[in-house]
Amino acid sequence: KQEVTQIPAALSVPEGENLVLNCSFTDSAIYNLQWFRQDPGKGLTSLLLIQSSQREQTSGRLNASLDKSSGRSTLYIAASQPGDSATYLCAALTQGGSEKLVFGKGMKLTVNP
Amino acid sequence: EAQVTQNPRYLITVTGKKLTVTCSQNMNHEYMSWYRQDPGLGLRQIYYSMNVEVTDKGDVPEGYKVSRKEKRNFPLILESPSPNQTSLYFCASSPLEARLRETQYFGPGTRLLVL
């Protein structure tokens, strides 16, 4: 059974820092690995999706990498801003059966001005 | 605008009073899914549907029902809500043929409190 872990559960940093958010998964049989952002009272916003055959994806200040063999993905946020404060979720679209999206519990990020 | 809508957004009810949370998408997606999000447990799938009249259980289906009579709508039904169903609920959709390559689109969430 796929398990997705995000550590730490919360992170507070000063503005301007470059950040690395970690995600690990136990079953490497995945179609893709996705990163989402969740703001309080709002739904999930897709940030990046990395196919299983890819190593990384970039969008603006965000870069996500995937190492299937070690069961790890990282989300890199460059030059963090207070507007980046949110909860970040990673999710693995896992092969087999219902091909479901298995989520980590999220990491709450606070960027202080 | 492409979107997934949920109604109501907030709901307070009492134990045993049947309720329905509606979900609608305007993107002609075949695949739709319901999740619940709880502190310390993350998002867990309740039910999903591959197309009209095709539904299946996710990880936590107990106490819930769904139906898929139309492509755009996927209501979540709680026949006899209990306090342990207090949660934040999300509906999501995606095109079936691209489901393995593209992300799901999520609704804004419905916060349910069962007293």
What is the least distance, in Å, from the CA of B16 to any CA of chain A?
26
- Residue A2: the pLDDT is 92
For chain A, the farthest-separated pair of C-alpha atoms sits apart, in whole angstroms, at 46
Say if residue A80 is exposed, middle or buried (CB neighbours under 10 Å; 0-12, 13-18, 19+): buried
The predicted-structure confidence for A33-78, as pLDDT tens digits, reads as follows 999 999 987 889 999 999 999 999 999 999 999 999 999 999 999 9
Res. A109: pLDDT tops 80: yes
| Radius of gyration of the CA atoms of chain B, in A | 13
CB–CB contact B109 A43 (8 Å) = yes
Q: What mean pLDDT is predicted for residues B52-60?
A: 94
Spatial distance between the Cα atoms of A38 and A22, rounded to a whole number of angstroms: 16
Interface residue of A6, A30, A101 to substitute, partner B, most B CBs within 10 Å? A101
Say if residue B111 is exposed, middle or buried (CB neighbours under 10 Å; 0-12, 13-18, 19+): middle
Spatial distance between the Cα atoms of B105 and B93, rounded to a whole number of angstroms: 5
- Residue A57: the pLDDT is 95
Res. A98: pLDDT tops 80: no
- Residue B100: the pLDDT is 83
Spatial distance between the Cα atoms of A75 and B76, rounded to a whole number of angstroms: 33
Spell out which residues of chain A touch residue B4, defining contact as CB-CB under 8 Å.
Answer: 43
User: Cα-Cα-Cα-Cα dihedral of A25, B97, B4, A29, to 10°?
Assistant: -10
Q: What mean pLDDT is predicted for residues B52-61?
A: 94
- Residue B102: the pLDDT is 86
**Mean pLDDT of all residues in chain B?**
95
B6 — pLDDT class (breaks 50, 70, 90) = very high
Say if residue B72 is exposed, middle or buried (CB neighbours under 10 Å; 0-12, 13-18, 19+): middle
CA-nearest of A22, A23, A47 to A37 is A47
The predicted-structure confidence for B67-100, as pLDDT tens digits, reads as follows 999 999 999 999 999 999 999 999 999 998 888 8
The residues near A21 (Cβ < 8 Å, ≥ 6 apart) are A6, A11, A74, A75, A76, A77, A88, A90, A107, A109
Spatial distance between the Cα atoms of B102 and A68, rounded to a whole number of angstroms: 18
Q: What mean pLDDT is predicted for residues B10-36?
A: 96
Phi, psi of B111, rounded to the nearest 5 degrees:
-95, 120
The residues near B62 (Cβ < 8 Å, ≥ 6 apart) are none
- Residue B87: the pLDDT is 97
- Residue B1: the pLDDT is 86
- Residue B98: the pLDDT is 84
- Residue A35: the pLDDT is 97
